[in-house]
Amino acid sequence: MKVPPHSVEAERGVLGSILIDSEGLHKVADLIKVEDFYEPSHANVYRGMLDLSAKGRPIDVLTLRETLDDRGELKTIGGDVFLMELANTTFSSANVYQYAQIVKNKSMLRKLIKAGNEIALYGYDEETELNTLLERTEQAIFGVTQTFIQNRLVHIREILDMRYEQFAEIHENPEILKQWISYAGFAKLDTMIGGFKPGDMVILAARPSMGKTALMLNIAQNMGAKKKHVGIFSLEMSKEQLTDRMIAAAMGVDSWKLQKWDLADDEFAKIGDALEKLSHANIYIDDSPIGSLVEIKSKARRLKMESGLDCVMIDYLQLLGGGNPMNRVQEVSEISRGIKGLARELGVPIIALSQLSRAVESRTSKEPGLSDLRESGSIEQDADVVMMLYRDDYYNPDTPDPSRQGVISVFVRKNRNGPTGQVDLKFERKFQKFYDIADEFGGFGEH
């Protein structure tokens, strides 16, 4: 068998450089981890250095010797002689990052070999369903590309250090939040839910004709205007229909007139600006007849690798197939867990539209609740945020309160990390456009 790719010299160069100048550890700690070292003795030394740094102690031959001796690892690495050799064979710490890059590259090659061996074994597995094998294959490759994802138990100290740095950075510059949180673009709604965070599973649920697809597209347009990359998987409408809705919203014209190609001259004059605006939005639409979540996972991973990805939208959850068609409740549960797992794997929020059960229609009060989520209680359990739409003028067209005409209530029924409540939005149905409603001072919130 061939010896796996590695470089003893580069590994020793990293360790020797840190012994010469402990600041070298801060230059490479985000790049290489303990498991990136090929030689076990080198890995043990690097782990000792990380521990010393975490305790705020200096890193030198004496302190490192003490740490390794306390762990019973000093003899296994070669004792004092080995540590002295590391310190004496490296004459400068200037190239520590270059050494670390070599170590990382060799480590990635070893991971690639491991993934390739696993994939080769999948090819001989004739018992497992092909879609499952393809999913495992893509996941193996994707796992190699995500060089900084650590699939291991992490001591809370490391997480605390990372969070402190993030909090301090945000405190100094709050605008940084916009780089990693995707906002809906509606002031009061964003204030309540705090935006859509990486790894969030967000459910947008409603009965038919409530406007959930229109709200999804409005959110996508708002994100696109903020230079976010949004992937939309439509299992119900074609990409042309979705795009026409976005064009109508951008133009402020009747979407039905646009579908009939019946625009007045002054309306048609607006189309150039609308198309120009939408063309700069990083919105990607897939309307292929997707049968399962496996296909969405594959395409989302590819989109993230090729173009970047900040948010995924699925319209809608109940149209997805799972692995258990004989038991629909269990099938939807598997789909729900799969969506949540994909959100965490990709590190992006996933907004999944969902139908509500017909039980809403039979009640005196038509306002939806969590128990109305169709076909599975696991959707409520897996979701980080559950939003439900309600139109009073749909159920009560002759309502005596004219202020409720064209108003859609967004009920935030679940918010894992924040408050729940109700936010009202104005919905211009013919334009397929949502607006913030003026507050008591007559102004509109801006995000």
pLDDT (0 to 100) of residue 11: 93
How far, rounded to the nearest angstrom, does the alpha carbon of residue 215 sit from its chain's CA centroid? 20
Q: Which of 195, 176, 148, 179 is nearest to 349 (CA)?
A: 195
Is the pLDDT at 323 greater than 60? The verdict is no
Residue predicted with more confidence, 244 or 447? 244
* Cα(140)–Cα(137) distance, integer angstroms: 5
pLDDT (0 to 100) of residue 85: 86
Per residue, what are the HEC states of 276-340?
HHHHCCCEEEECCCCCEHHHHHHHHHHHHHHCCCCEEEEECHHHCECCCCCCHHHHHHHHHHHHH
pLDDT (0 to 100) of residue 73: 87
| Angle between the N-to-C axes of helices 130-145 and 293-306, in degrees from 0 to 180, rounded to the nearest 10 | 20
What domains can you pick out in the chain, each with its CATH number? 1-172 (1.10.860.10), 177-436 (3.40.50.300)
Residue predicted with more confidence, 99 or 257? 99
What would the pLDDT profile of 54-68 be if each residue is shown by its tens digit?
Answer: 777 888 889 999 999
Whether residue 399 contacts residue 214, with contact meaning beta carbons closer than 8 Å, is answered with no
What band does 443 get if pLDDT is binned at 50, 70 and 90?
Answer: very low
What would the pLDDT profile of 198-218 be if each residue is shown by its tens digit?
Answer: 899 999 988 887 888 989 999
What would the pLDDT profile of 384-412 be if each residue is shown by its tens digit?
Answer: 999 999 888 777 776 656 667 778 889 99
* Mode of pairing for the β-strands spanning 201-206 and 385-391: parallel
* Mode of pairing for the β-strands spanning 230-234 and 283-286: parallel
Residue predicted with more confidence, 1 or 109? 109
Dihedral angle over CA of 327, 328, 334, 339, nearest 10: 170
pLDDT (0 to 100) of residue 330: 75
pLDDT (0 to 100) of residue 351: 92
What band does 446 get if pLDDT is binned at 50, 70 and 90?
Answer: very low
CA distances from 200 to 191, 312, 348, 349, 416 (A): 16, 10, 7, 4, 10
How far, rounded to the nearest angstrom, does the alpha carbon of residue 113 sit from its chain's CA centroid? 27
Which tokens belong to 280? 């700069």
Long-range contact set of residues 96-101: C-beta below 8 Å, sequence gap at least 24: 96/13, 96/14, 96/17, 96/18, 96/21, 96/24, 96/27, 96/28, 97/27, 97/28, 97/31, 99/10, 99/11, 99/13, 99/14, 99/17, 100/10, 100/14, 100/27, 100/28, 100/31, 100/32, 101/31
What band does 81 get if pLDDT is binned at 50, 70 and 90?
Answer: confident
Whether residue 205 contacts residue 368, with contact meaning beta carbons closer than 8 Å, is answered with yes
CA distances from 49 to 7, 16, 19, 356 (A): 20, 11, 9, 55
* Cα(410)–Cα(367) distance, integer angstroms: 10
pLDDT (0 to 100) of residue 377: 66
Stretch 58-87: mean pLDDT = 88
Stretch 373-381: mean pLDDT = 72
Identify the DSSP state of 236.
Answer: S
pLDDT (0 to 100) of residue 439: 45
Task: Pick the catalytic residue from 118, 165, 236, 276.
Answer: 236
CB atoms within 10 A of CB 8: 11
Is the pLDDT at 290 greater than 70? The verdict is no
Residue predicted with more confidence, 255 or 417? 417
Q: Over the chain, what is the mean pLDDT?
A: 82
Give the HSE-up count for residue 139: Cα atoms under 13 Å, Cβ half-sphere: 16
Whether residue 425 contacts residue 407, with contact meaning beta carbons closer than 8 Å, is answered with yes
Question: Which of 40-44, 110-114, 265-269, 388-392 has the weakest average pLDDT?
Answer: 265-269
Tell me whether residue 236 is one of the annotated catalytic residues: yes
pLDDT (0 to 100) of residue 154: 64
What would the pLDDT profile of 133-178 be if each residue is shown by its tens digit?
Answer: 887 887 787 777 665 444 455 677 877 887 788 778 878 887 777 7
What band does 9 get if pLDDT is binned at 50, 70 and 90?
Answer: very high
Give the HSE-up count for residue 302: Cα atoms under 13 Å, Cβ half-sphere: 11
Is the pLDDT at 37 greater than 90? The verdict is yes
pTM over the 0.75 mark: no
